Amino acid sequence: VTVFSVSQQDSFYYIAMEFIDGKSIDEICQEFAMPSREAVPLFLQMVNGLIALHSKNIIHRDLKPQNIFYQKDNRIKILDLG
């Protein structure tokens, strides 16, 4: 997910991120079983996202289906980097 800013207001810290129009992989898996021909490309997007994070020395530490969103444009976004 694109992070626009990390900031503080008084004693409150926040992260401003883009709005994601889609559903978590967890929600999708509860609704229906995705055929492998559709799941494999999404899995590869997830792997590429993790490679991009690791190339910047970022370790997610809480990667799970609830933190991976599938957008309406068939793209994957990895969330919860805070």
Catalytic residue numbers read 62
C-beta contacts of 46-51 below 8 A and 24+ residues apart = 46/76, 46/78, 49/76, 49/77, 49/78, 50/78
